[in-house]
Amino acid sequence: MAFTLPALPYAFDALEPFVDATTMQIHHGKHHQAYVTNLNNALDKFPELKDLGIVDINKKVGTDAIPKDIATVVRNNGGGHWNHSFFWKIMTAPTNSNGPSDELKAAVDASFGSMDVMKEKFNAAAAGRFGSGWAWLGVKADGSLGITSTPNQDNPLQGVADEALLPVLGLDVWEHAYYLKYQNRRPEYIAAFWNIVNWEQVSENFTAAKAGSPPAL
């Protein structure tokens, strides 16, 4: 079964003034669509892989389950499809979130000391990722929260990741995610991101991750 571009859960201008409508239109309709198209084209060569869901495809990146001649394409575009499908859902209009759940707040405090410290560490991971990539907050194997970053369209579900996590929050720091509005001011974009985090969705992701499941897309 072919993968398809998911609809955004809000209007293109819903994240204004922190993320502009033009960026959202291009990011969703051009960049994300390209990942979907390229992934489908690669899997056309190996129809037996088409029934795998996008989570399983990402988990098999870096293993022999993905044939070598499409391994790089699947890593980049399967990662890009999962990452963006996840990313759209963890953002919302600036006034549409009441903050993290008590359970998530407690986990953040236990792992980092406070929400402010967590944000500082997350911001540092996002700002410090050289070139294109992502920053992630997720649940580690021991149940605690951790922060990591990945290059390009890699994510912590993949076997190639430096640190395995079940993601609960992620930020795209590719230039196409912010350059029209912020130009080279990546730290300003990262700071603005916290104004549009959908904490209800992040809290749901945390509950699922604590139970050992990746977030539903």
> 84 among the known binding-site residues?
yes
Query: Which segments of the chain are extended strands (E)?
Result: 133-139, 145-151, 166-172
Query: Is domain 102-210 classified as CATH 3.40.50.2300?
Result: no
Q: How far apart (Å, rounded) are the C-alpha atoms in residues 3 and 123?
A: 32
pLDDT of residue 216: 83
Q: pLDDT tens digit string along 148-174?
A: 999 999 999 999 998 999 999 999 999
Residue 50, pLDDT score: 87
Q: How far is CA 101 from the centre of its chain?
A: 20
The mean pLDDT value of the chain amounts to: 97
Confidence of residue 217 (pLDDT cuts 50, 70, 90): confident
Topology (CATH level 3) of domain 21-89: Helix Hairpins (1.10.287)
Structural domain boundaries in the chain? 21-89, 102-210
Distance between CA atoms of 104 and 20, rounded to whole angstroms? 29
| 6 pLDDT tier (thresholds 50, 70, 90) | very high
Express each pLDDT in 18-32 by its tens digit: 999 999 999 999 999
What whole-number percentage of the chain has pLDDT above 90? 95
176: annotated binding-site residue? yes
